[in-house]
Structure 1
Amino acid sequence: MNGLRLRACAKINLGLEVLRKRDDGYHDINSLFIAIDLHDEISIHPADGIEVVCEPAVTDRPDDNLAARAAHTLGSLPSAHGQGAKITVAKQIPTGGGLGGGSSDAATTLVGLNRFWNFPADDAALLAMASSLGSDVPFFLQPSVALVQGRGDVITTIDIDLPFVVVLVVPGIHVSTPWAYSTLGITGEQPATDLIRSLRQSIDDHQDMSHHFRNDFEPVVFAQHHVLSSIKQRFYEKGAAYASMSGSGSTMYGLYTDVDKARTAASAFGNMAVYICSPVNDSFVTSQ
């Protein structure tokens, strides 16, 4: 194979419930992950060793980024001994915004490099490697619409057509995920909402989605960054069916059922970075 190009898509969280703190220090969550067509592009070409280039760079040392860690993890398998590749990550997904760009790059690197090297790892091995790289990485092995539970490793794919146009607003505020979890003050546990049922009811019956979904990080993050609350309110003023923060922030999104309303909303956020996206459920591979 001469080369491979792949999409590493972003995601948003529709509902993000933090249920409990686990004995291993992680947290159990209950969330719907929706893959969207905002994506990084990853290209893989032959090389003697493993080289990963990120454009622009997202870490001080190239080997510290998740795509590089994924490549070296797969390359450490005995069945991949002696294999090499040059992997280039062209970044489009904003970093540190709750969109899962680094996790997606890692999963896409695993999938693409596994194909490029003629499948040294089976699906179970890929899942184990993805879980070792980060809580969100397993979802991106098969990005779609999914209920994500546990620490991110219990994934139930949902067969559903979403009628939404997604408008993202990226305010450029860094929110530390460990800090966000630490401020939740979780001492017990709370029950999980049936998010799949809520999603289907919201679509079928045109119900008010704001009563069905919540992001548990919003109160603590909004208290520190009031502009995020203002962005959420602006989405609703511009006719959003639902608006929320993705992950632990700081990206905000609005869901629209009308393309024209989505475009109007996208023009309402001044000089902030805005993206108009659609949900996706298709192949990683763009060409080879």
Structure 2
Amino acid sequence: MVPVRFLTDYRILLVLPNVQLSTAEIYKKFEMNLTKYAHHVKFEAVILGIRNLEDLNYYLYNDLEQVAQTVYPELAGIRERLLASGAAYVSLTGSGSAMYGLYHKESDLEAVGELFSPDFRVYAAQPVT
């Protein structure tokens, strides 16, 4: 048995645009050749390789994000605003339309949340252990 240390000391900012993306439409437009990372990843290597939030950028990628951005281009702007505001990792939730950013400190969230209000619904959360 290999002990695994999960990251728990971070905060999550969830940004929901006032648009709903059709999961069926996103999957219909999805093409496997759009996949950003072609290498095959072993689950154990991923789990053991993630030591901080920034490592997530190497190991995790939502293949549907690129497709969702073709349907709703504003997602790219949300991604950029989250990254510019100090998020260590940003991704699309499932097939969309919400995006989330992972932050090191809770104090970062309030100011960042105000960057998106009132145009978007914004929620702050933290992992539960």
Following the alignment from structure 1 to structure 2, what is the Cα–Cα distance between the partners of residues 191 and 266? 35
How many percent of aligned residue pairs carry the same amino acid?
27
Q: Say which of 166, 170, 173 aligns to 2:12.
A: 166
Q: Say which of 116, 122, 128 aligns to 1:274.
A: 122
Higher-Rg structure is 1
Give the aligned residue type for 2:115: A
Superposed displacement of residue 178, structure 1: 1.6
Q: Say which of 194, 201, 210 aligns to 2:49.
A: 201
Superposed displacement of residue 218, structure 1: 0.9
Instruction: Name the counterpart of 1:264.
Output: 111
**8 Å contact 2:17–2:98 — kept in the other structure?**
yes
The SS at the match of 1:267 is helix
Gapped runs of 5+ residues in structure 2? Answer: none
Q: How does 1:23-172 map to 2 (within 5 A)?
A: 160-172=6-18
**8 Å contact 1:201–1:207 — kept in the other structure?**
no
Following the alignment from structure 1 to structure 2, what is the Cα–Cα distance between the partners of residues 258 and 200? 23
What CA RMSD, in Å, does the superposition of the two structures yield over aligned residues? 2.4
Give the aligned residue type for 2:41: T
Gapped runs of 5+ residues in structure 1? Answer: 1-157, 282-288
Q: Tell me the TM-score normalized by structure 2.
A: 0.79
Q: How many residues align?
A: 121
Following the alignment from structure 1 to structure 2, what is the Cα–Cα distance between the partners of residues 171 and 262? 17
CA deviation vs aligned residue, 1:250-269 (integer Å, no higher than 9, x gap):
01100001111122211111
Following the alignment from structure 2 to structure 1, what is the Cα–Cα distance between the partners of residues 122 and 109? 11
Superposed displacement of residue 247, structure 1: 0.2
Instruction: Name the counterpart of 1:249.
Output: 96
**8 Å contact 1:218–1:245 — kept in the other structure?**
yes
Higher helix share: 2
The SS at the match of 1:168 is strand
